[in-house]
Amino acid sequence: MQGKEPSLLDYLRAIFHGDAGQYKIYFREADPAESGKSRPQNSEKNQAVSHAYLIVLVLLLALGGQYFLEPLRRSVGMAAFLYFAAATSLVFFFRKNKDTFSPLSEKWQAWQISQEVRIGFLFPATVLLAAAFWFFQDNRFTLLNVSLWLAGIILFILAVWENPSAVHRTKFKATPFLILVVLVVLVSIFFRVYELQAVPSEMFSDHAEKLLDVADVLDGKTSIFFTRNTGREPLQFYLTALIIKIFNTGISFLSLKIGTVLAGLLTLPFIYLIGKELGGKWVGLAALFFAGVGYWPNVISRVALRYAFYPLFTAATLYYLIKGLRTRNRNDFLLAGLLLGVGLNGYSSTRFLPIVVCMIFLVYFFELKTKQERQQWMWMFLLVTVAAFLVFLPLFRYWLENPALFGYRAATRLLPVEQPYPGNPLWIFLQNFWKAMTMFFYDNGEIWVHSVPDRPALDVVSAAFYFIGSIFCLVKAVKQKNWLAKAIIISIPLLLIPSVLSLVYPGENPSLNRPGGAYVPVFVLAGYGLVKSLQIILQARSGRMWKYAIGGLCILLVAICGLQNYDLVFHEYKEQFDLKAWNTTEIAAQIQRFYAEGGNIDNAFVVPYPYWVDTRLVGINAGLPHKDYALWAEDFSQATADAGTYLFILKPEDSEDMALLQEMFPANSIFEYHSDIPGKDFIEIRVNR
């Protein structure tokens, strides 16, 4: 190994073989921009780091600080003191290693991006897309307008796609690193699909709205923008309809879950790749692990609403944008734009992603040296913009025709449309911003459907390494003037803005759903913090026992992280969700039992009661998605005009309607259904006419 700098893998392998002393470790990170036609990024000097013991202290202090921010042990004063001590120690470490983190002189490689466009494809693409725009009328996808739209996009891609100069084939070998990647991927899949049916167990009203929209698609109503429940983008509904067709899962909670869990899993490779861009493959692997087992991404995927699409297209767009800026490959910019456009069809929060893309472009703009480079930069920015716009075209047409409906939900949170501001909007914004920025460590909000209320968004280990990684990344951005580090630091507050802008309803901020895209750079920085810490700690001493201790510490931290996230999702979240969600599946099961015993399909009813079950969900769970089982008291007589057996299901507190039914139908039988979940019992009344 003489003359060759060992990788972290080489060093870890040496630890377990007792040969760690053969290596002298230098604090220098592998940089993905060191090869190819990319501009070399600033890297730490090849110089040993002093005072490495401080990183051990920083890690222990950060873990201790986060430990005291857990709900059952919360002591904000103690946590603030420990985190302040960790930050102070880290600053002292940097001061003792100034030369290590100073920028390196480097030879600038000028931008050379082809601006050639194939007019033979571009002209017909323009004609077809203009025609598609014209036919995107009346909020409907049709065979004609979709065919024109897709054909136009394909021709546009052919017009600007750059043929690669050489094909690079990657040979996969069963290296220890690849085995670790496979292991982390399998663990991530386990966390996302384990007990998928049971966690969460019940739907709530938003799911009824989504499944009714999916039913509309299956019935041939192919909307561009779905106006039910203040309006929704179309991606989830068509994806779920496709899943139902492929897997035959029906109009069900599971059908929604499959789509969003797939979206959550597809986010992980892009998190790995962004981590690799920032600090090499080990950072990518660490980021992949933290995001794969993390409670935050797991829950917003499992809850089966559109939330999972925001991080997916954030990660995909940012990766290809970052790669394009590094490699100057026009195809990467094209892919970034196309994926951004698809994301805009997924979840409303993604409407802020174009601003994040603009800011990253702007960060890189200040790296450019010549007028020619700036012109090429402008062309690539235009390419991303046009590609995104073309995919967004159907929604853009709807937006022009129905601006109020398209922006209604966002307007109700940002502007006093439904109710006045509860205070000074500027002060609310500042408070919201602070709460959102600290939610990783302190409080992720009180919305029980997609979080464990009033706890940090990150587990203890992830939060500690996110804190450390943020400081390392900030130093890389400021001291080493690294544009990618700057872009990642800036992206986090920007990706939180969809939650921060809830000025009319500040109680909805912070949350895990609207700022979901932020978890992409957050977990990248957590992985960065872990790898940077290990790189420094591993050179503290050369003794075998010390190396075994550090290896054991790493394994222990990974285990603690996984176990805490497992407990958060499969115990805490599951239990609090079951207690607060209404058991429409049990009600539906009793109705199906009534049918099995010979009851008429039209003779079963659920009597509505304030803040009780959504009766549409009873129909969906009973296999009748278009049936609403609600029957109000004033309609009892009309609904029971014909002879037969009738089933009424009531909330136990609804004594008034219970008494009315007993008075109207003296020949009745009453049964109280006892649920396994406290507070979820209900009353069944059967009557014969």
Amino acid at the residue 110: A
Q: How far apart are CA 153 and CA 342, in angstroms?
A: 12
Q: How far apart are CA 353 and CA 361, in angstroms?
A: 12
User: Pick from 269, 270, 355, 361: which is nearest to 315 by CA?
Assistant: 270
Q: Which long-range contacts (CB under 8 A, 24 or more apart) does 457-460 make?
A: 457/295, 457/296, 457/510, 457/512, 457/519, 458/294, 458/296, 458/522, 458/526, 459/294, 459/295, 459/561, 459/564, 459/565, 459/568, 460/63, 460/66, 460/67, 460/70, 460/560, 460/561, 460/564
Amino acid at the residue 103: P
> Tokens 């923008």 belong to which residue?
225
Q: What is the pLDDT, as a whole number, of residue 3? A: 43
User: Pick from 417, 438, 405: which is nearest to 503 by CA?
Assistant: 417
Contacts of 358 (CB under 8 A, 6+ apart): none
Q: Are strands 682-688 and 645-650 parallel, antiparallel or unpaired?
A: antiparallel
Q: CB–CB of 316/341 below 8 Å? A: no
Q: CB–CB of 36/109 below 8 Å? A: no
Q: What phi and psi, each to the nearest 5 degrees, are found at residue 332?
A: -65, -40
- In order of 247, 298, 451, 453, 460, the CA distances from 71 in angstroms are 41, 20, 14, 10, 11
Phi-psi region of 236 (alpha: psi -120 to 50; beta: other; left: phi over 0): alpha
Neighbour tally for 333: CB within 10 Å: 27
Q: Three-state secondary structure along 548-593?
A: HHHHHHHHHHHHHHHHHHHHHHHHHHHHHHHHHCCCHHHHHHHHHH
Q: What is the pLDDT, as a whole number, of residue 510? A: 96
DSSP letter assigned to residue 50: S
Give the 3-state secondary structure of residue 424: coil
Q: How far apart are CA 39 and CA 328, in angstroms?
A: 9
* DSSP conformation letters of 135-152: H--TTB--HHHHHHHHHH
DSSP letter assigned to residue 83: H
Amino acid at the residue 566: Y
Q: Three-state secondary structure along 343-364?
A: HCCCCHHHHHHHHHHHHHHHHH
Torsion angle of C-alpha atoms 130, 133, 135, 136, degrees rounded to 10: 170
Q: How far apart are CA 498 and CA 409, in angstroms?
A: 12
Q: CB–CB of 39/33 below 8 Å? A: yes
Q: Which residues of the chain have pLDDT under 50?
A: 1-5, 7-9, 11-12, 15-18, 20-46
Q: CB–CB of 201/306 below 8 Å? A: no
> Tokens 């307008």 belong to which residue?
145
* DSSP conformation letters of 616-667: HHHHHHTT-TT---B--GGGHHHHT-SSSEEEEEE-TT-HHHHHHHHHH-SS
Q: What is the pLDDT, as a whole number, of residue 539? A: 74
What pTM, to 2 d.p., does this model score?
0.91
Phi-psi region of 161 (alpha: psi -120 to 50; beta: other; left: phi over 0): beta
For the chain, the structural domain boundaries read 117-161, 198-579, 584-688
Q: What is the pLDDT, as a whole number, of residue 8? A: 46
> Tokens 């103690």 belong to which residue?
78
Q: How far apart are CA 666 and CA 629, in angstroms?
A: 23
- In order of 468, 470, 531, 646, the CA distances from 91 in angstroms are 11, 13, 18, 74
Strands laid side by side in the 604-606 sheet:
604-606, 645-650, 682-688, 668-673
